[in-house]
Amino acid sequence: MEEGQVTASAVGSPRGEEAAAAFRVHRHDVLNYLQLVRAYIQMNRPERALEAVTELTLWLQSLSAAQSAFETIAPPLLWTAAACSHVRLGRAEAAVRWTPVLCELVSSVWRWADEAAAAAGLRGAVLDLVDGLQAMGQAAGWADAQAAPLLTVVLQLSDHEEAAEVVRRQFEARYGKPYIEARDPTNNASVRVGVVLGRR
């Protein structure tokens, strides 16, 4: 397998062990937020406690949006969203057919973004899923629709420029190009997901 490619998992909903693992991560992250709130209150830092409550609220609200967007058409993405507390869903506007390969590609970028944001100390990064050509366009070098990504993940990083630059460099080092791809075994075609890193 080439660098920047991912493998597709089984069709449909995540297997029981994947769902259980995602639930454990979700529960752990929620408890971490609550422990932060408690610690800030004990340290008489109500403004920091309020920030932690706001972050938790925004993430949980984004899970409601993910549930609305993915519950019936792409359940694996719902579990990915629940396990990634550093990156919340913003928009899900791409009009695509969610195949298992496409779900795995998007989940791969989402998990990577969450790990990179956590390592860089970023909270509240926002992930948007938009039409591939709309987001990437001619500027990214897609000469025709055949070569263009099916959809684009737009990762809006925080205003902390230094940490955002670290995340950008990590993505370039890992993937080496502005997209990831995998072969769809159902039609033996390459599926591309573009990735745009920006600042919100």
Q: Which region among 44-53, 64-73, 120-129, 155-164 has the lowest average model confidence (pLDDT)?
A: 155-164
By residue count, the chain amounts to 200
Bridge partners (DSSP) of residue 180 are 193
CA dist., res. 21 & res. 181, Å (int): 25
Spatial contact of 105 and 181, defined as CB atoms under 8 Å apart: yes
Percent residues over pLDDT 70 in the chain: 79
Calculate the alpha carbon distances from 153 to 2, 18, 32, 77, 172 in Å. 20, 23, 27, 13, 15
Q: Which amino acid is at 148?
A: A
- Per-residue pLDDT, 148: 57
Sequence-distant (6+) residues with CB within 8 A of 139 are none
Cβ pair 162, 151 in contact under 8 A: no
CA-to-CA distance for 68 and 40, rounded, in angstroms? 33
Q: Which amino acid is at 191?
A: V
Compute the average pLDDT of residues 124-148. Answer: 61
Which token pair is 159? Answer: 């205003």
Please give the model's pTM, rounded to 2 decimal places.
Answer: 0.78
130 membership: H or E segment, kind and range = strand 125-131
For residue range 140-187, list pLDDT tens digits in order.
554 444 555 667 788 887 666 777 777 777 887 888 877 788 888 877
At 37, list the tokens: 């709130």
pLDDT digits (tens, 9 = 90+) for 13-60: 456 677 788 888 889 989 999 999 999 999 999 999 999 899 899 889
- Write out the two tokens for 50: 């309020």
